[in-house]
Amino acid sequence: MERDAEAVELWTDGACSGNPGPGGWAAILRYGGRERELTGGEPATTNNRMELMAVVEGLRALTRPVPVVVHTDSAYVERAFTDGWLRRWKANGWRTAGKKPVANRDLWEALDEAASNHRVTFRRVDGHRGVELNERADVLAVAARDAAAGGALTPGRQST
């Protein structure tokens, strides 16, 4: 793996109109002065699913193992890793501490798989507070949500 100084920055966001409702996600990858934007959406989803999809697709876009710093405004995503929720869910057979099935298990499993190829660090940012790349990811996610609401965007990975 590369040194931490050479980590890929992954800025992510999800957006949903209604919960559930049409949703979009965005991921901005930044490394060595280069950037790549990914977006996608679904006509009927939740905000948490879109937040997860942004990170999953951002990590899947990486072609080799590298250190990655994921910047997210989602406490749901960040705390699953930093507070050990994901590790405990897996150990408990994908059940919460209250013995209920983990919501969005399919995406948590996809994220766990995608993250396993890299050394991933999560950093939570305050949403809608003027952080440039977080604001840009929000604009992209909202555009993807709007496209999904109009039926112009099919679920899955889309490149912008």
Residue among 14, 23, 24, 40 flagged as catalytic: 14
Residue among 93, 126, 128, 130 flagged as catalytic: 128
CB 66 within 8 A of CB 9: no
Q: Is 4 a catalytic site residue? A: no
Q: Is 14 a catalytic site residue? A: yes
* Edge-to-edge strands, sheet with 119-124: 119-124, 67-72, 8-16, 21-31, 34-45, 158-159
CB 26 within 8 A of CB 144: yes
Residue among 42, 57, 73, 78 flagged as catalytic: 73
From CA 96, how far away is CA 138, in angstroms rounded? 29
Contact residues for 5 (Cβ-Cβ < 8 A; gap 6+)? none
Q: Is 83 a catalytic site residue? A: no
Q: Is 73 a catalytic site residue? A: yes
Residue among 51, 57, 71, 78 flagged as catalytic: 51
Q: Is 71 a catalytic site residue? A: no
Residue among 42, 57, 78, 138 flagged as catalytic: 138
Q: Is 98 a catalytic site residue? A: no
Structure tokens belonging to residue 7: 């980590």
Residue among 13, 42, 57, 78 flagged as catalytic: 13
Query: Which residues are the active-site residues?
Result: 13-14, 51, 73, 128, 138
